Amino acid sequence: MLCWGNASYGQLGLGGLDEEIVLEPKSCDFFTGKRLCDVGCGRRHTAFLLGDGTVYTCGCNDLGQLGHDKARKKPGNLMGHVWEPGAVQLNPSVPFCPSEQVVALDAQNIVAVSCGEAHTLALNDKGGQVFSWGQNKFGQLGLGVDGPVVLSPHLIQSLLGIPFAQVAAGGAHSFALSLSGAVFGWGSNKFGQLGLNDTNENKNEKAQSETLGGVFTFGAGGYGQLGHNSTNHEINPRKVFELMGSVVTQIACGRQHTLAFIPSSGKIDSFGLGGNGQLGTRSTCNRISPAPVKGPWAALSDFSSKDQDFAEQRYCVKRIYTGGDQSFAHYQFLQDSVVPDDFRILDPRRHICTLTFELIQKWLSHAQGRLPHEISDEIDLIFSSACCLNGSFLDGSHPDHYNTSRKYPGVDVNLARLLLHRLSQSPQVSQLVAASLEKNLIPRLTISPPDIEALRLYLTLPECPLFTDPNTYITIAIPFAKATICLKEPPLKVLCNWWSRLEPPVFLRRVELYKDVVVYLLRMQKVGVAPTEQRVFTCFLQTSLKMLEILHSVNEKASQIIQYDKFYIHELDYLIDIRNDYIMWIQQQMYSVPLDGPVTMCKYPFVFDAQAKTTLLQTDAVIQMQIAVDQAQRQNFSSMFLPVVESVNPCLILIVRRENIVGDTMEVLRKSKNVDYKKPLKVIFVEEEAVDAGGVRKEFFLLIMRELLDPKYGMFRYYEESRLIWFSNKTFEDIDLFHLIGAICGLAIYNLTIVELHFPVALYKKLLKRTPTLEDLKELMPDVARSLQLLLDYPEDDVEQSFCLNFTVTEENFGATEVFELVPNGTDIAVNNSNRLDFVNAYVDYIFNKSVAPLFNAFYAGFHKVCGGKVLELFQPNELQAMVVGNTIYDWEELEKHTEYKGEYWAEHPTIKIFWEVFHSLPLEKKKQFLLFLTGSDRIPILGMKSLALVIQPTGGGENYLPVAHTCFNLLDLPKYSSREILSEKLLQAIDHNQGFNLV
C-alpha cells in the first residue's frame, strides 16, 4: 500500500514517520501479509477493510468517526508523530484515539467502507445493509435522527430492502449505488454536491439522482477539484472533458482533490488542492486540471515485458483511494500480473448474496443428508433479507435494466419462477426457506419501502411454490398479502403499475393463488371455525379478498390483462349461501358495521360467476317485491276508511292482442305502479288458451321486440357493417316507446328470459354508468373507428394539412346531410397534432351520449324502473348483455349431457342415439334454428346450455309425423323414427317451418 498527503493525525497509518506532510507515495508496512479489500479516507481519519470482513480505523476521533467510544485525550505536543493501526497513542496534540478494529461491526461481514470529512459508512454482505457513524450535523448519516454525533455504527433503516453494491461518503454527504445503477444521495448540499440541480442546504432523506455514464463531477470546485480547468461550482453533474480520450476505470475524491486512474498508461491523474501534498506531484501547488501522480507506474504494454529487473521496479495499481487530504494506492509488482479494479464492473467479492443457479445447485447437492450449517446459514441469509431477494433475478437483457423505473422493475419473473421451483426439489431446503420467510422476511416488510427497487420481491417471491401450498397459506401467502395491501399509496401504485405489465400467464398465477386461498378459507368456515378464532379467520378472508380486489382493479385499468371471468370463484355456489350473503351485504350498507364484522362476498362482486349473479338478481327481485308488497299492505291496513285491506296481486299480468302488442303493453305498464314491475310476469294472449309456464312469456318478448325494432318506427339506426343498432337521433316516435323498451329489457332480466336486442356493449356500459370508449365505437362503426385510430396513430406533424378535419360530424338523416358541431364553434376549430385526442373523444361522446341523450335517458329510466338496485352494480357490461340477449357460447355436448328423457326414451335408446348423431352433424345455423324452434331463441341464457333443461319424450302417430316443440317447457315430442335419414328429413322440416308459439 502506497500513501501520501496529510499525516498529522495519524490518518495515513504510517509508523516511524517524522513528517506531517508526505509529498510523494510511501509504502505502509501495516498491510504486509494482510489482504486489503477497501480503504475509506476522511479528512482526519481512515478506515481499512481487510479480507476477513473486519474494519480498522485510525486518525482523529473528535466526532466519533472511528466507530468506538474511546475516551478523548486532551490536546498535547505531537510534533513528529503519526499513528499506525493498533499503535499506542503518545502525547496527542489533537483529540484522537488509538486506531483499532471497529468491534461493533464484528458480527457483520463488511464488503465496502467509505469515509467523509468526519463520518464513516460500511456496507455488509447481508443484502446490502448500510451502517453509518460519526458526525451527523448535516444529516450525512442518513439515520433520520437529530444530534451532531453518533459514536458507534448504526444501521440505516430507511435504506432497508434496496440491494446496494457500493457506498461513498463525501465531505458532509453520502451516496449509495444500487445493483441496478441507481444513485442515492443524502446530507449537505450547499454546493450542489448531491447533483440534484439545487443547493438546498441539507437533505436528511434519501434522494435518487439520475444514472450517469462517463466521468462526471459536481459540487464545490473552488480549488479545481472538479477538473474542469476552472474553480467554478457545479450543481449538476458535468462531464470532465479534460479526461476525454482516456478510459478512466477508477475515481477517488478527497476533501478538495480528486484522483483518476487510467489503466492503459497505468498512471494516476490528480487535480484540486495540493497544499498537503495530497496530489502526489512532489509539489504543494493546486491543479485545476488533471496532472500525473509521480511514481513508477506500469502501463498495460509493460505487462508483456520479460525484463525481471524492470518488472521489480514497476508498480501495477490495483486500486486508488483518497479522502480528506490523504491518498492511497493499493499496488502489486508487475511480475505478479495484477489486474486493476474496474469500477465500471461490479466486483463479485463485494457482491451481496443473491439467489443463483450455482448456489441452488450447491444446496441441492447436500439434500440427501443433513444440511451443513454453512448452507443453512446461506438459505436463512437470503430468504430473511429483502435486500438479497431484491438483488436477485435481475434482468440484464432489458434495455431499461440500469434505469429501473415506475414502469419497469428490472427483474426477470420467469427466471425467478425457474430458480424458486428448483428449490422445491429438496424438502429440507423448502422447510428452511419457509421458516425464514415466516419468521424473518415477511414480518419485517415495511409499509413504506425506501425506493422502487425495494418492491421487486413483491413480484418475484410469489413465484415460490411455497405460496401455492395450502399448508403455508396461513403462514406465508396471507401474511404476504397483508404486507402488500398495507403498502402506502405511492409504493402500491408502483407495484400495481408493474403488475399491469406482467405477461398474462404470470398475472393469472397471482389471481389463481388468492382465489385458491379464498376457497381454502371458505371450506374451513363450512367445516366450522371456533368462535375464539372467528376474528382471525375473518381477517384472513378479508385480506385475501382485498388482495384479489387490488389485482382486479389493475386488470380493469390495464384493459384486461386476463378475461374478467378468470376472477370468478365457481365454488361459491356450494361454499356460501349467496342469498343470505346478499341480505347481509344490504344490511351492512344500511347500518354501521364494525370493520372486523362478517365478510360479505357481495363486497367483492368480481368473484361471482354468472350463476351466482343470477341468484343475486333473483334474490334482489324477491326482496324488492316483498318490501313493496309489505309497504302496500301496511298502507292499506293503516287506512281507517277502508273496511277491508285491498288484496295485492302477486304477479304482473299482461293481457295483450297479437295485432296490437305494443299498444296493449304500453297501456298496462302505464297503469302499473312501480311495485308491479318487480313482480313475476304472466302473459295472456287474447283469445288463446295457452297457460304461461314460460313459453308464452318467451314468445311475448320475441314478438314485442321485433315490433319495436321494426324500421317503420325509425327509432334505431341499423349499421350494416356490424349488424348492430343504436338510437337514432332523428326519430318522430313518442319518447315513451324508448321508456317501454327499457322496461321490457328489465322485465326480461327479472323473468330470466332472453330477448333479441342487437345493441353494442356500449349500451350496457351506459346502463352501469360507465363511459363508452373508442373501442366501443370499433364494435358499432368499425370503419369510422379505424379512421379515428389512424388519426391518433399518425406519426407526422402535419395532421391539420393531411386530414383537413374540424370539430364537426356529418350524418345522413332521411336523405339529407347534416353537420353537427362537437364543441361550441367546432366548425372554426381545426384538428391538429395537439388536439386530435380531444377530437376523437368528442366524436365518441357525440355518438354514444350527446346525440341520443333524451332517448337513452328514457330507456335508462324504464330499465332501472325494473332493475334498479344494488345488485345491478355487481355485473360487468358483458354479463348484463348476456342477461338481456343471451350469448353465443354454444356447447352442444353440454346440451346433450343435460337433456332429460321421458317415457320409454333413455340416453341409449336407438331413436335418441340417431337423434344426437343427426343433430351434431348439422351446420351451426341449423343448430341455432333448432334452439329457436325449441326454446323461442337461438341464443344461450347466461347460465349456459345446462340451464335450457331440454326434455325429449316419445309420441305416437308413426314416422310420418314431424317433431313438435312445447316451447313453454323446452319439451320436444320426437316420434320413433326407424332410420337416420327419415329423422334428419323430418327434423329439418320442423325447424325450417317453425313460426310462432304452438300449443300442442
Conformation bin of residue 557: beta by default, left when phi > 0, alpha when psi is -120 to 50: alpha
CA 979, distance to chain mean position in Å, is 61
Could you tell me which residues are beta bridge partners of residue 150? 134
Local structure of residue 723 (DSSP, 8 states): T
Q: Measure the CA–CA gap between 814 and 810, rounded to whole angstroms.
A: 13
Question: How many other β-carbons are positioned within 10 Å of the β-carbon of residue 149?
Answer: 16
Q: Measure the CA–CA gap between 60 and 172, rounded to whole angstroms.
A: 16
H or E segment at 25? strand 21-27
Q: Measure the CA–CA gap between 983 and 527, rounded to whole angstroms.
A: 52
Evaluate whether 445 touches 386 at the Cβ level (below 8 Å): yes
Q: Measure the CA–CA gap between 41 and 58, rounded to whole angstroms.
A: 10
Question: Which residue, 197, 192, 249, is CA-closest to 226?
Answer: 192
Q: Enumerate helices (H) and strands (E) in the chain, giving the number of each.
A: 28, 32
Q: Measure the CA–CA gap between 385 and 364, rounded to whole angstroms.
A: 21
Q: What DSSP letter does each residue of 562-587 carry, written as one string?
A: S-GGGG--TTHHHHS-HHHHHHHHHH
Local structure of residue 44 (DSSP, 8 states): S
Helix boundaries (H) for 58-149: none
Evaluate whether 56 touches 102 at the Cβ level (below 8 Å): yes
End-to-end CA distance of the chain: 108
Question: Which residue, 672, 845, 646, 838, is CA-closest to 744?
Answer: 672
Angle between helices 427-436 and 413-423 (to 10 degrees): 120
Collapsing DSSP to helix, strand or coil, 173 comes out as strand
Collapsing DSSP to helix, strand or coil, 617 comes out as helix
Let me know how long the chain is.
1000
- Strand 216-219 and strand 234-239: pairing? antiparallel
Q: Could you give the maximum distance between any two Cα atoms of the chain, in Å?
A: 130
Evaluate whether 411 touches 420 at the Cβ level (below 8 Å): no
Q: Measure the CA–CA gap between 586 and 616, rounded to whole angstroms.
A: 12
Local structure of residue 48 (DSSP, 8 states): E
- Strand 716-719 and strand 724-727: pairing? antiparallel
Q: Measure the CA–CA gap between 210 and 215, rounded to whole angstroms.
A: 14
Q: What DSSP letter does each residue of 657-691 carry, written as one string?
A: -GGGHHHHHHHHHHHS-GGGGGSPEEEEETT----
Q: Measure the CA–CA gap between 575 and 609, rounded to whole angstroms.
A: 13
- Look up residue 833 and give its three cell numbers: 397534432
Q: Measure the CA–CA gap between 632 and 626, rounded to whole angstroms.
A: 10
Positions marked catalytic? 968
Evaluate whether 434 touches 475 at the Cβ level (below 8 Å): yes
Evaluate whether 652 touches 672 at the Cβ level (below 8 Å): yes
Q: Measure the CA–CA gap between 113 and 647, rounded to whole angstroms.
A: 90
Cα dist from 502 to 491, 510, 516, 562, 917, whole Å: 17, 10, 20, 11, 45
CA 484, distance to chain mean position in Å, is 11
Evaluate whether 351 touches 335 at the Cβ level (below 8 Å): no
Spell out the residues 6+ positions from residue 921 whose beta carbon is closer than 8 angstroms to its own: none
